Structure 1
């Protein structure tokens, strides 16, 4: 029953954003408001509902829209300030999302709900970038161990938070978690474009790289927030070279095709007719169908507790995103030591290389310890 209700709310929101005027009852208002917040589409929905006969929903959206606009202005100011600081210190960067993306795709930093600033720096400049953020009062919230060098390819960003401004920065050195091949920073920078925030030029990914990044990012999260698909919808209003898109995405190109299928289904996105064969590929179609599981449920993948059913589905879904080559690479990565191995059997740093040959034994040891009865039982 709840899934059916969420499906109705999702379809109502997508219909409204397609320019239709779906009917609703007074009882729907609170549920639609919650759905708009969940999907991070409050500004877009408030804009299209101006003049809608359902004044109660419009009135409820306006305070949330204003609250976000004030925060967006603060984020935009900090984004331009950090861009200037990094430029002055000779550290290259590319803004991935946040206010720069909102300005690029929507023409207004307040028209896209965002909670942080995502920036990409060259891997060799990561330590310098982290020092710059700390010098500005940011504190790192490290969510992974750096005791082994695996973090450099297993993970893709470090998180920093400023307690006084309430601003979070995700400092990327990769676009997505590894293992897997990605375009080099220099390659991305050469294709980048500039967006001005408060008169300050801020470098942003080029359209084709942006399409690839947004598609893979949204797919990794199951498109559980419609905002990510609406970004694709907005991006498709710009000029894209799909030959370059497929070149950039490589063996992940079915993910890009599935993003277009979903965007077309939800928001009526004008799809590239000359790419019909690409869009109708079997894997792209299957991935698009699988994503509706997330859209028609109230799923928070970053919540502290995720249901066993959702966790199992998401694990299988993420595997389905990968090509056979990436699946083999992921399987091979399990033979590389994890921080848990160091915790189980601490060794001096100079002989950490021994974790590689003994990794299977340490894995079996951990499994046996988990399976054994608790002490004193």
Structure 2
């Protein structure tokens, strides 16, 4: 039975949830929540009066891809509290990002027209689509590439059409089958189009068929043009899949999912869950919901408010996720691998250990590029990988202890 403290966790005020965080991270969260209507102007103004390290705030906002959300909030709420030199730099940066957003949006129109001329049905998502669909404002969601979904039988043709226009495959087909996508770029590297024929990688714990996503579309007005994109339920499903396959390791993913939840309060969640090829008792799915609520303090559909009360361990991991991401100054990149395995295998400590060992000893391209060795000496990569992981993630005794506590929860 859930403790009273855990029952109340969804309703704690912002000040209580962030009391151990730095002023910069408190302000970052409040700025995001303000744009999602779950924090007030007074929350933001109170934090603006604190002694802040502005470089840290801006750096964290940029790193988490939520700079525009933070900038817009600060611009609205008493920018007089911000040093003029800092705000001027933020305004210049915001203008650059907005200009690039518009540039990519026009590129999207060109690509969709090109595909239509070749009878390729391509459905755009993320990028400018979610900027308008979820936030209602092209200036609130930043993006650096474009994403379209095509049918598997059209994938090669779509690539060929782009190649004829001067694009090339950034990875030259590497990992194409395992990821189900190709990154197509122009030589100037300003335009990157991810052409997907799958929505999840081959080793992801959910395997999602894509044909049904083409059946239920909605029309979106984007800069005066009508664009066909996914239905509310399918957009929610894709946002969840995008976040959870990355273990929710960026605020941008969390904000997208949270904002879509707010945008579609009447969505058919049974359909969303079915699209994800899972069920309402899947604790990984519930973890995505809990993470969005824990960070953003948004209202949840009743189905999930009730369901989360049955799974207190989900709320525990969601809170730990936020603690590691903010209280530890965002140094815990590897923690998200631990969370990603939390419920993707049988719920036994031994099965988790087996999966963890696979992650630790999975030699990848980065290992081989850093330490080029002949195949005869491949076994040397295993100890070298451990050394590289320790150095990359600055693993200490404290981190190991924290990871273990989360891992066995």
Task: Please tell me the TM-score bracket, short chain as reference.
Answer: 0.7 to 0.9
Q: Are the structure 2 counterparts of residues 15 and 315 from structure 1 closer, same or farther at C-alpha, using a change threshold of 3 Å?
A: closer
Q: Which residue of 1 aligns with 2:187?
A: 163
Q: Which residue of 2 aligns with 1:235?
A: 260
Q: Which residue of 1 aligns with 2:367?
A: none
Distance, in Å, in 2 between the alignment partners of 1:277 and 1:55 is: 42
Distance, in Å, in 1 between the alignment partners of 2:299 and 2:246 is: 24
Q: Which residue of 1 aligns with 2:130?
A: 101
Q: Is the 8 A contact 1:33 1:60 kept in 2?
A: no
* Pairing 1:10–2:25 present: yes
Distance, in Å, in 1 between the alignment partners of 2:286 and 2:22 is: 23
The equivalent position to 2:212 in structure 1, one of 187, 206, 220, is 187
* Pairing 1:48–2:73 present: yes
Q: Are the structure 2 counterparts of residues 267 and 369 from structure 1 closer, same or farther at C-alpha, using a change threshold of 3 Å?
A: closer
The equivalent position to 1:141 in structure 2, one of 153, 156, 170, is 170
Larger RCO (alpha carbons 8 Å, 6+ apart): 1
Residues 246-297 of structure 1, C-alpha deviation per residue, up to 9 Å, x if partnerless?
2223437433422332222222211112432323324532442342223445
The equivalent position to 1:86 in structure 2, one of 115, 126, 130, is 115
Query: Shift of residue 208 of structure 1?
Result: 1.8
Gaps of 5+ in 1: 300-306, 341-363, 373-377
* Pairing 1:276–2:305 present: yes
Kindly report which structure 2 residues correspond to 1:301-316, keeping only aligned pairs within 5 A, or say none: 310-311=333-334, 313-316=335-338
Q: Are the structure 2 counterparts of residues 216 and 291 from structure 1 closer, same or farther at C-alpha, using a change threshold of 3 Å?
A: farther
Query: Shift of residue 177 of structure 1?
Result: 0.8
Q: Is the 8 A contact 2:241 2:276 kept in 1?
A: no
Length, aligned pairs only: 326
3-state DSSP class of the match of 1:251?
Answer: coil
Residues 179-218 of structure 1, C-alpha deviation per residue, up to 9 Å, x if partnerless?
4554433200112222233343323222222222222322
Q: Is the 8 A contact 1:223 1:295 kept in 2?
A: no
Q: Is the 8 A contact 1:160 1:168 kept in 2?
A: yes
Distance, in Å, in 2 between the alignment partners of 1:236 and 1:322 is: 24
Distance, in Å, in 2 between the alignment partners of 1:96 and 1:119 is: 6
Q: TM-score, normalized by length of structure 1? A: 0.75
Kindly report which structure 2 residues correspond to 1:230-269, keeping only aligned pairs within 5 A, or say none: 230-239=255-264, 240-251=267-278, 253-269=282-298
Q: Which residue of 2 aligns with 1:294?
A: 325
The equivalent position to 1:31 in structure 2, one of 56, 72, 76, is 56
Q: Are the structure 2 counterparts of residues 162 and 323 from structure 1 closer, same or farther at C-alpha, using a change threshold of 3 Å?
A: same
Residues 345-365 of structure 1, C-alpha deviation per residue, up to 9 Å, x if partnerless?
xxxxxxxxxxxxxxxxxxx98
Residues 306-330 of structure 1, C-alpha deviation per residue, up to 9 Å, x if partnerless?
x9x744x3433222252549x99x9
Q: Are the structure 2 counterparts of residues 11 and 263 from structure 1 closer, same or farther at C-alpha, using a change threshold of 3 Å?
A: farther
Distance, in Å, in 2 between the alignment partners of 1:297 and 1:220 is: 22
Q: Is the 8 A contact 2:145 2:194 kept in 1?
A: yes
Query: Shift of residue 10 of structure 1?
Result: 2.6
Q: Is the 8 A contact 1:93 1:203 kept in 2?
A: no
Residues 126-166 of structure 1, C-alpha deviation per residue, up to 9 Å, x if partnerless?
100101111121111117647xxxx52x2222111112361
Distance, in Å, in 1 between the alignment partners of 2:156 and 2:193 is: 15
Distance, in Å, in 2 between the alignment partners of 1:47 and 1:271 is: 25
Q: Which residue of 2 aligns with 1:322?
A: 344
Q: Are the structure 2 counterparts of residues 7 and 118 from structure 1 closer, same or farther at C-alpha, using a change threshold of 3 Å?
A: farther
Q: Are the structure 2 counterparts of residues 139 and 297 from structure 1 closer, same or farther at C-alpha, using a change threshold of 3 Å?
A: farther
